[in-house]
Amino acid sequence: MRRMSTRTHGIIDYLTSATLLALPRLLGWDTKTTAIVSGSGGAAALYSAMTDYELGAVRMLPMKAHLTLDALSGGMLLGAALLMDDEEPEVRGTIAGIGLFEIAASLLTETQPRHSSWENQVKDESTPHEELEVGRSV
């Protein structure tokens, strides 16, 4: 079975984060549920931006750590949905579905990013250059 690329996973990360931030407000969910779901979306956006993959901005967090956080986030959403007895079944089902989706995405994604050829070329050009001597003309 072919695994999802880290680039595709990155696109899904940002779309899922935006969905988690917007969905509770668009559907008028209560304050507690909105806080839980939005917190998950905000955290996912933050650690996605810090992940060492094609769509990461800072690239500090290894992909394996990112996938672990995705699985934990999915488990948290799944657990939250199971514990929200006062919520409508549709709300609980939606949250549980997103949680299961996050867990599945974490298990089905490659653990090493395929960096672009430009990034590989820059890394390959790390050979030392000749130092110019002071006063020597080129």
Predicted local distance difference test score (pLDDT) of residue 130: 46
Predicted local distance difference test score (pLDDT) of residue 114: 80
User: How far, in Å, CA of 77 to CA of 94, rounded?
Assistant: 10
Predicted local distance difference test score (pLDDT) of residue 116: 53
Structural domain contains residue 97: yes
From the number of C-beta atoms within 10 Å of its C-beta (0-12, 13-18, 19+), residue 12 rates as middle
For the whole prediction, is pTM greater than 0.85?
no
User: How far, in Å, CA of 83 to CA of 78, rounded?
Assistant: 9
Structural domain contains residue 96: yes
The residue segments making up the domain with residue 58 are: 6-107
Predicted local distance difference test score (pLDDT) of residue 119: 52
Predicted local distance difference test score (pLDDT) of residue 129: 46
Q: Which run of H or E residues covers position 7?
A: helix 6-26
Structural domain contains residue 129: no
Structural domain contains residue 50: yes
Neighbours of 110 (CB within 10 A): 17
Structural domain contains residue 122: no
Q: Cα 115 vs. chain centroid, distance in angstroms?
A: 16
Domains of the chain: total: 1
* pLDDT under 70: residue ranges of the chain: 115-138
Structural domain contains residue 137: no
| pLDDT tens per residue across span 61-94 | 999 999 999 999 999 999 999 999 999 999 999 9
Q: What secondary structure does DSSP assign to 50-108, as a single string?
A: TBSSTT-SS--B-HHHHHHHHHHHHHHHHHHHHH-TTS-HHHHHHHHHHHHHHHHHHHS
Question: Tokens standing for 87?
Answer: 């919520």
Q: The tokens 């996605």 sit on which residue?
A: 48
